[in-house]
């Protein structure tokens, strides 16, 4: 494997594509737009899943599983929903293959045509709300707080590993509530959970806000988002939480008896994050040497490489390391001791650097004599020689420090890329030369938003939750505006 | 909800169907043959997954993820494989919907027809081996030990919740090895892991054996199986591990450079268990009162129900229970304290009995006075009044005891249903009157096996791993046989 990466400064997009493949995270499959998530990439996704799943459960949610295939008619029940997804649906029309007339080729059996076509879920609101009708009768059945871990499929025309793939893995929460206020509270709560996860586990700062009407989920009354900033100055929508009002309850006739004995439609939310987060993770921290992973999501937190000339030396290092790894594992540190004889130390160093392992420990003959070891951190590429007596404490401290350092670095970078502008020329100049978020006044209309997008490719990423009231004029039309919104070019 | 169940003795099949629904494990969806796994059922599946995943990782496997859709042409590359699965494949032919000419109905967009149809995976050998060709070049890349947790789809005509559904959840291991011996060792090892899981977590005794040629996986040279016995005397195949020889390596041209510098095809295995295990779990232990769960897989191991007349009494019970649950949770016991005021104690007792919660604790005003509580175990339905001082220890002991008791009970039952027979009349009589496994001599031919099946509906479940050499005569043809095999009617 050639490990040399394109530099970010030369071609960020190429750097990303190469890195995902060289670091063994994922690769394209033989099926258009569908990726294979390789073991190392999947191990990171599993760590993400474990933390998110814990957070969902701590906020009262349970997991369930609903069918992969959705009858076409379900799909049509909520008008704006089907408009939003119909153009990118994989359609199952037959349920059998057979041997063709030539006796060799396998062909679709036309006699096994479905009466009603089935759609591979692009999202599961419709099939889930069809079940909720049966599950919800009374206020005692509410709130219903359910999450699903699943694969979904949207037939994307231009795909990129993790960032935009036809099939992707995700979780989708679908909740039902007695009141509008409670549903909105849930929507906001899950936005908060996502922000907490992004910042405290991915070490990726995010801005919490709401989407404008034109950027909302198809079928939602309001979409809450967390928006992150990548190293190339483009924004990335990292998670969304939707307040669905009573739209799906009406479409699927889900009513409940209130405490007062009346009938009412239930209030709904849905929220999701996907394997797209893997792309965001890569683009938040990695450098020209390869992947950089925050310790909390690194499948291997510490790689240990022995350096030896004789079998006897290796044996001695093996012994020392055995004691060390035992202690570290008991402390919850995930350690890989790589004493394969089929690869040289230099190759291993490059491998763990490329794969973003937060800490690397090397131990050689001189270290045996001096009771020392060399510890290298991936984020700063700094090395230090330490007494073996202090290794365990130092490793534990450094894992915390690296996690914090990555967040702080990403935060400083992101904060440096939020620019306030007050006229359209400045707006265009910032987008072109500096990139990042542009904080500007907007007249609140979809028409203006669309025009700005067609002129600059920038979209309104969100109206920040903490936007302050400020009188101003729309950068494009000059019409009155009462607060700034955040624009950016985005993934 | 009406909680009254059909009795097993009256109609076992009806009892099963009712129980799965009433205990909130799963239900049919609006899509033919596809189930919704409800939160309580999914929580049990999650516990199964967690244990299996741990066991796979402890035996050196890593998880990965491969595409849901497989090009038709991949499928045809291994001849017996496509024969085995072509009849039950869901086929994706289009990738877009559009609004029909009436401006209302949503129809398939004929202009978005795929050049090559895509099959929803019924199993992933073909798409995975297409990747392995890229991953494996040298003996240093071997063994490749990968597992995938995924949904798969087989278009079954007659479906039953968990036992046979069109879509099901499973794990599929796919490994590649340098030598035949190593691949066979892996196949057997995973059979052992499955048996360990079935017996020590599901409390379900299994017989390890190999399948006859006609019952093998399509594309395998040998299929190892674990076979369980359900309460109605029918066998259930609970997990299979396949030795695939070099079939898929040849079909997908996966060669490697050996240590000696030669080129050779790699040796393969695949192995899987599915949500079918949920059906096996239900049918192994449950009774006319409802579900009975082994403590190691119970989402709730202990349910606590307060009995009170006044708010003051409830408050006092809440306090006592808070201390108790804290201690129990610290000991790893999963506790649910159900102090909902919307349901009465009697309703809650029936609910936890139906849902198979291993232990139930009731605490009332008199218990407050006497420092006691009533503990009921689900497996034997026995109750005892205990001092609160000994509760924690007693609960921990009982959870172990119930796990062991369920296994022992199932083992005694299963052992009572293995009958040796030596002629065909006896064979038919045992199958008809007693059921269970019938241990008999067979002449080793598929023709005889097929004839016995058509005459009795019994199939050869397996040739037990520990079958002893014994000279005898085939029960049907009288031809020579050197060992007994196990027949049974099966799910």
Over residues A387-400, the pLDDT tens digits come to: 999 999 999 999 99
Closest residue of chain A to B72, computed from CA coordinates: A106
> Is B86–A94 a contact, with Cβ atoms under 8 angstroms apart?
no
**Smallest CA–CA separation between A265 and chain B, in Å?**
21
> Is B93–A93 a contact, with Cβ atoms under 8 angstroms apart?
yes
Alpha-carbon span A443 to A475, nearest angstrom: 8
> Is B108–A93 a contact, with Cβ atoms under 8 angstroms apart?
yes
Q: Does domain A295-401 have CATH number 3.40.50.800?
A: yes
**Smallest CA–CA separation between B166 and chain A, in Å?**
10
With H, G, I as helix, E, B as strand and everything else as coil, classify residue A260. Answer: coil
Full pLDDT tens readout for chain B, 491 residues: 456 899 999 999 999 999 999 999 999 999 999 999 999 999 999 999 999 999 999 999 999 999 999 999 998 888 788 888 888 999 999 999 998 888 878 899 999 999 999 999 999 999 999 999 999 999 999 999 999 999 999 998 899 999 999 999 999 999 999 999 999 999 999 999 999 999 999 999 999 999 999 999 988 999 999 999 999 999 999 999 999 999 999 999 999 999 999 999 999 999 999 999 999 999 999 999 999 999 999 999 999 999 999 999 999 999 999 999 999 999 999 999 999 998 999 999 999 999 999 999 999 999 999 999 999 999 999 999 999 999 999 999 999 999 999 999 999 999 999 999 999 999 999 999 999 999 999 999 999 999 999 999 999 999 999 999 999 999 999 999 999 999 999 99
Alpha-carbon span A396 to A389, nearest angstrom: 13
Q: Does domain B300-401 have CATH number 3.40.50.800?
A: yes
In a mutational test of the A interface, the residue from B97, B169, B253, B257 whose CB has the highest number of chain A CBs within 10 Å is: B97
**Smallest CA–CA separation between B44 and chain A, in Å?**
11
pLDDT of A202: 98
pLDDT of A6: 97
pLDDT of B3: 60
> Is B86–A99 a contact, with Cβ atoms under 8 angstroms apart?
yes
pLDDT reading at A402 higher than 90: yes
> What is the residue whose two structure tokens read 């969304």?
A240
In chain B, which residues have their Cβ closer than 8 Å to the Cβ of A119? 97
Q: Does domain B12-76+121-285 have CATH number 3.30.930.10?
A: yes
Residues contacting B197, CB < 8 A, separation 6+? B48, B51, B52, B55, B273
Choose the closest CB to B67 out of A34, A86, A130. Answer: A34
What is the mean pLDDT of the segment spanning A289-297?
A: 98
Pair of tokens at residue A401: 């420090």
Alpha-carbon span B173 to B195, nearest angstrom: 16
Q: How many CB pairs under 8 A join A and B?
A: 189
Q: CATH topology for A24-68+126-285? A: BirA Bifunctional Protein; domain 2 (3.30.930)
In a mutational test of the B interface, the residue from A25, A47, A64, A256 whose CB has the highest number of chain B CBs within 10 Å is: A64
In chain B, which residues have their Cβ closer than 8 Å to the Cβ of A29? 66-67, 127, 130-131
Closest residue of chain A to B156, computed from CA coordinates: A95
Pair of tokens at residue B424: 């065909």
Choose the closest CB to B96 out of A27, A63, A87. Answer: A87
CA-nearest of A234, A266, A236, A261 to A129 is A266
Pair of tokens at residue B325: 């649950």
> Is B62–A70 a contact, with Cβ atoms under 8 angstroms apart?
no
pLDDT of B183: 98
pLDDT of B1: 45
Please state whether the predicted TM-score (pTM) of the whole model is above 0.90. yes
In a mutational test of the B interface, the residue from A41, A47, A69 whose CB has the highest number of chain B CBs within 10 Å is: A69
Domain ranges of chain A: 24-68+126-285, 295-401, 418-488
CATH of B418-488, one of 3.40.50.720, 3.20.20.480, 3.20.80.10, 3.30.110.30: 3.30.110.30
């Amino acid at each position: 494997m050639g490990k040399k990466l394109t530099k970010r400064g030369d071609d960020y997009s190429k750097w990303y594509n190469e890195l995902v493949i060289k670091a063994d995270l994922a690769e394209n499959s033989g099926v258009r737009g569908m990726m294979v998530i390789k073991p190392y990439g999947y191990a990171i996704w599993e760590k993400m899943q474990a933390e998110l799943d814990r957070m969902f459960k701590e906020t009262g949610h349970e997991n369930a599983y609903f069918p992969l295939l959705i009858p076409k008619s379900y799909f049509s029940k909520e008008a704006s929903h089907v408009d939003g997804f119909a153009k990118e649906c994989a359609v199952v029309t037959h349920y059998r293959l057979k041997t063709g007339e030539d006796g060799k080729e396998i062909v679709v059996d036309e006699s096994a045509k479905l009466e009603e076509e089935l759609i591979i879920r692009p999202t599961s609101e419709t099939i889930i709300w069809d079940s909720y009708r049966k599950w919800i009768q009374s206020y005692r059945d509410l709130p219903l707080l359910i999450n699903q871990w699943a694969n979904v499929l949207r037939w994307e025309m231009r795909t990129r590993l993790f960032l935009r793939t036809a099939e992707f893995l995700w979780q989708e929460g679908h909740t039902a509530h007695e009141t509008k206020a409670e549903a909105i509270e849930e929507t906001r709560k899950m936005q908060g959970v996502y922000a907490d996860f992004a910042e405290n586990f991915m070490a990726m700062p995010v801005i919490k806000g709401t989407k404008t009407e034109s950027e909302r989920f198809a079928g939602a009354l309001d979409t809450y988002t967390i928006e992150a900033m990548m190293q190339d100055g483009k924004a990335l929508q990292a998670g969304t939480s939707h307040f669905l009002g009573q739209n799906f309850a009406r479409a699927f006739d889900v009513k409940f008896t209130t405490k007062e004995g009346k009938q009412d439609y239930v209030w709904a939310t849905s929220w999701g994050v996907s394997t797209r987060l893997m792309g965001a993770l890569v683009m938040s921290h990695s450098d020209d040497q390869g992947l950089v992973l925050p310790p909390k999501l690194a499948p291997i937190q510490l790689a240990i490489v022995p350096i030896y000339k004789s079998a006897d030396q290796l044996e001695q290092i093996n012994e020392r390391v055995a004691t060390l790894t035992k202690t570290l594992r008991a402390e919850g540190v995930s350690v890989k001791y790589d004493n394969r004889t089929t690869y040289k130390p230099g190759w291993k160093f490059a491998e763990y650097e490329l794969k973003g392992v937060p800490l690397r420990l090397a131990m050689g003959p001189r270290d045996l004599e001096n009771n020392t070891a060399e510890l290298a951190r991936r984020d700063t590429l700094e090395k230090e020689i330490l007494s073996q007596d202090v290794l365990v404490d130092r490793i534990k401290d450094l894992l915390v420090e690296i996690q914090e350092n990555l967040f702080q670095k990403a935060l400083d970078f992101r904060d440096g890329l939020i620019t306030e502008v007050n006229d359209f020329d400045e707006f265009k100049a910032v987008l072109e030369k500096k990139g990042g978020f542009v904080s500007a006044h907007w007249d609140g209309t979809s028409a203006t938003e669309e025009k700005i997008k067609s002129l600059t490719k920038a979209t309104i990423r969100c109206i920040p939750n903490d936007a302050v009231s400020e009188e101003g004029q729309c950068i494009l039309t000059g019409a009155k505006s009462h607060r700034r919104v955040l624009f950016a070019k985005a993934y």
